[in-house]
Amino acid sequence: MAPRILINGAKGRMGQAVAAAAKEMNLPVGGAVARGDDLAAAVAGRKPVVLGTTGHGAEEKKRLLALAAQVPCVWAGNFSVGVNLLFALTRRAASVLGSDYDAEVVEMHHRFKKDAPSGTAARLLEIILEERKLGAEALRHGREGITGARTATEVGIHALRGGDVVGDHTVMFAALGERLELTHKASDRGIFARGALRAARWVVGQQPGVYDMQDVLGLK
C-alpha cells in the first residue's frame, strides 16, 4: 500500500507542487499537522521523514540532524535528479582540476526567496571545500570595493534574485586559458516535488538515519 503523506508548509509554493505531483502519482496525501516543531512530532510518532527546507543556521541544522537521525530521514536541499548529478560532476571536476582552477558558484532564484545563498549552492560549496580540504573561511560571499587580487584558496559565491526564476546554478572552474562551467536550470517546481515523493517512497522501510538524494538515486 502506498504510504500516506503529510505535507508541512502545504500552502507554500513547494507544498502545493508536492500535493499536485502526489495527485498525479496516485499517492494519498492526508491529515493536517499543527504548526510547530513538526519534525519532533514525526520523530515522536516514529514516522519516516523527508526534509527539504533550506536556510537553517549551522547550530539549528545540527539539532535537526540529530533529531532526524532517530527515524529514517532523507534530507536534501534539492530533490532534482539533474542537480544531484551536478553534485557528483562538481566533485569530480574539483578533484581533477585542482586549485589552479578558481572555483566560483553563481545562483539565481525568484524575487520571493527568503534565504541566500540557496541550499543547493551551499551544498555545491561544501563539495568544493571538501575536495580542496578548505574550511568555511575560504568562502567569499559577493565582492565589493578594493578586494585585492583573487587568492588561490578562496571560493566565491554570488546570489542573484529576480522575477520568477525557479532555480539556476552554475559552478565555474576558471584557469589561465580555459574555463569549465557546469550549469543546471530548473524551470518547473515539479522536478523537486517528484524527487521529494520518490524520496518519500524510498525512505519507508529504511533503517533510522539521515540519507540524501545520492542514496535515493543510487549515485553513491
Would you name the residues annotated as active-site residues?
109, 113
Burial 186-220 (b: 16+ CB within 10 A, else e): beebbbbbbbbbbbbebbeeeeeebbbbebbbeee
Which residues is 181 bridged to in the sheet? 172
In terms of Cβ atoms closer than 10 Å to its own Cβ (0-12, 13-18, 19+), residue 60 is exposed
Give yes or no for residue 214 binding ligand NAP (CB under 6 A): no
Give yes or no for residue 111 binding ligand NAP (CB under 6 A): no
Q: How far is the CB of 35 from ligand NAP (least distance, A)?
A: 5
Evaluate the omega torsion of the peptide bond into residue 117 and state whether it is cis, within 30 degrees of 0: yes
Query: How do 72-75 and 49-51 pair as beta strands?
Result: parallel
Comparison of 72 and 77: residue with beta carbon closer to ligand NAP: 77
> Per 3-state DSSP, what percentage of the chain is helix, strand, and coil (rounded to 5)?
40, 20, 40
Q: How far is the CB of 53 from ligand NAP (least distance, A)?
A: 4
CA–CA gap between residue 67 and residue 209 (Å, rounded): 10
Q: Which of 27, 53, 159, 165 binds ligand NAP (CB under 6 A)?
A: 53
Interface size with ligand NAP, residues (CB under 6 A): 19
Q: Which of 3, 13, 25, 190 binds ligand NAP (CB under 6 A)?
A: 13
Q: Which of 9, 29, 65, 140 binds ligand NAP (CB under 6 A)?
A: 9
Give yes or no for residue 54 binding ligand NAP (CB under 6 A): yes
CA–CA gap between residue 134 and residue 209 (Å, rounded): 27
Q: How far is the CB of 79 from ligand NAP (least distance, A)?
A: 4
Q: Which of 35, 111, 133, 220 binds ligand NAP (CB under 6 A)?
A: 35
Helices (H), 30-118: 38-44, 58-68, 81-97
Comparison of 13 and 140: residue with beta carbon closer to ligand NAP: 13
Q: How far is the CB of 52 from ligand NAP (least distance, A)?
A: 3
Give yes or no for residue 3 binding ligand NAP (CB under 6 A): no
Comparison of 3 and 9: residue with beta carbon closer to ligand NAP: 9
Residues 165-204 that bind ligand NAP (CB under 6 A): 192
Burial 129-139 (b: 16+ CB within 10 A, else e): bebbebeeebb
Residues that bind ligand NAP (CB under 6 A): 8-9, 11-15, 35, 38, 52-55, 76-79, 119, 192
